[in-house]
Amino acid sequence: MERIFNFSAGPAILPAEVLQQARDEMLDWHGSGMSVMEMSHRGKEFMSIAAKVEADLRELAGIPDNYKVLFLSGGASSQFAMVPMNLLRGKKSADYVNTGEWSKKAIKEAKKYCAVNIAASSEDANFSYAPAQDKWVLDPAAAYVHYTPNETIGGVEFNWVPDLNSMVPLVADMSSSILSRPLDVTRFGLIYAGAQKNMGPAGLTIVIVREDLLGATMSGTPTMFDYKIHADNDSMYNTPPTYAMYIMGLVLEWLKRNGGLAVMEKVNIAKTGLLYDLFDTTDFYHCPVARSDRSRMNVPFTLKDAALDGAFLQQAQARGLIQLKGHRSVGGMRASIYNAMPIEGVAALLQFMREFASDHA
């Protein structure tokens, strides 16, 4: 069996051990005689899987008891609407920081429900940096402040957590950076993330929300968009994405076996560092992101001569290095290097990039 190195931004690489375990348990989970896919979400087998996923996530991410963890579907994109519907709580405006494509989508959706104040934006420099907090202009009447800690497409990451020094909840779309480094949940009112980048398969969305923010949902909000309904029903108001939760559970066990988030952070710094060091020592490759705000998950870069893009991608693919094409909105290349990408994969990419550069010098 030959596994390629998959640099896809999402759905993305999963640890081989996790897939092997899922394979071994496919037809008969723990002597139940069933696949997890076939289980009732209210049966004792699946209830035990769900409880373990939540407990392991709470342990790994240090989620305090006064936060609810919700297992939803609808993708991070549904959260673009659910956040204002649930967190405006009678207020009429919200602050958004605009650092790229995902911020823009969140802003566009929020504008359906409230006035959006763009507290800061890096659009002036083609979304190549994270605006420093002393440049943010907050609306004193805003219900919450929303930002995107890691812009998956632009490869811009906040390497610091905004300090709002106030009662206004901080909301973060952590779809592509959750579990990549230690997390202080208490700094946030709400964190959301699609699972398919760094936690598991597509179809599952995680919401971590401070309890006191629940219960003042905008009137007219669909039942399925009300956090309180999901919280009161332990994410089983309707059928949750059971198999995706099970796989996420295996990923969390893998993370625990491998030292948790502090170790992941070190490894992620080392992995992306290999590429960033290369950019700093050659002018064949260029990374458009400000040095201090370079993502540890998604590394965008361009070749000196865009006419070589096709050959680069083709030769990379021939070596088992796939999904390196940049997002259609920005072009160039992008290597997504989530927790599950082994350092051997990044080393193989680095070796290829060095050779390609010297062949075309």
Q: Which residues are catalytic?
A: 102, 173, 197
Q: Which is nearer to ligand PLP, 205 or 242 (CB)?
A: 205
> Whose CB is nearest to ligand PLP?
75
CA dist 75 and 28 (Å) reads 29
Contact 297, 176 (CB under 8 A): yes
Q: Which is nearer to ligand PLP, 77 or 133 (CB)?
A: 77
Q: Which is nearer to ligand PLP, 97 or 353 (CB)?
A: 97
Q: Is 75 one of the binding residues for ligand PLP (CB under 6 A)?
A: yes
Provide the minimum distance between the beta carbon of 212 and ligand PLP in the complex, in angstroms, as a whole number.
Answer: 25
Residues 191-220 contacting ligand PLP, CB under 6 A: 194, 197
Q: How many residues bind ligand PLP (CB under 6 A)?
A: 12
Q: Is 148 one of the binding residues for ligand PLP (CB under 6 A)?
A: yes
Q: Which is nearer to ligand PLP, 76 or 330 (CB)?
A: 76
The helix/strand/coil state of 228 is helix
Which one of 36, 60, 76, 261 is in contact with ligand PLP (CB under 6 A)?
Answer: 76
Q: Is 323 one of the binding residues for ligand PLP (CB under 6 A)?
A: no
Provide the minimum distance between the beta carbon of 259 and ligand PLP in the complex, in angstroms, as a whole number.
Answer: 25
Asked whether the CA dihedral 343, 346, 352, 354 is positive or negative, the reply is negative
* Angle (nearest 5°) at CA 184 between 180 and 186: 145
Amino acid at 328: R
Site string for ligand PLP, 77-106 (x = CB under 6 A): x------------------------x----
Provide the minimum distance between the beta carbon of 251 and ligand PLP in the complex, in angstroms, as a whole number.
Answer: 16
CA dist 284 and 202 (Å) reads 35
- DSSP secondary structure string, 201-221? -TT-EEEEEEGGGTT-PPTT-
DSSP conformation class of 327: P
Site string for ligand PLP, 118-147 (x = CB under 6 A): ------------------------------
| The pair of three-digit structure tokens given for residue 315, joined into one six-digit string | 């030769």
Contact 295, 309 (CB under 8 A): no
DSSP conformation class of 250: H
Positions of E strands within 48-125: 67-72, 93-98, 115-121
Provide the minimum distance between the beta carbon of 177 and ligand PLP in the complex, in angstroms, as a whole number.
Answer: 8
CA distances from 276 to 50, 75, 115, 165, 282 (A): 39, 31, 39, 34, 10
Q: Which is nearer to ligand PLP, 242 or 298 (CB)?
A: 298
Q: Is 175 one of the binding residues for ligand PLP (CB under 6 A)?
A: yes
Q: Is 225 one of the binding residues for ligand PLP (CB under 6 A)?
A: no
Which one of 6, 122, 176, 295 is in contact with ligand PLP (CB under 6 A)?
Answer: 176
Enumerate residues 6+ apart whose C-beta is below 8 A from 289.
128, 129, 154, 155, 156, 295, 300
| The pair of three-digit structure tokens given for residue 170, joined into one six-digit string | 């901080």
Applying CB under 6 A, which part among 18-26, 171-179, 261-269, 301-309 lies near ligand PLP?
171-179
Q: Is 295 one of the binding residues for ligand PLP (CB under 6 A)?
A: no
Contact 264, 180 (CB under 8 A): yes
Q: Length of the chain in residues, anyone?
A: 361
Applying CB under 6 A, which part among 170-178, 301-309, 314-322, 330-338 lies near ligand PLP?
170-178
Q: What is the distance in angstroms between the CA of the first residue and the CA of the last residue of the chain?
A: 36
Q: Which is nearer to ligand PLP, 176 or 242 (CB)?
A: 176
| The pair of three-digit structure tokens given for residue 81, joined into one six-digit string | 């609407």
Footprint of ligand PLP (CB under 6 A): 10, 75-77, 102, 148, 152, 173, 175-176, 194, 197
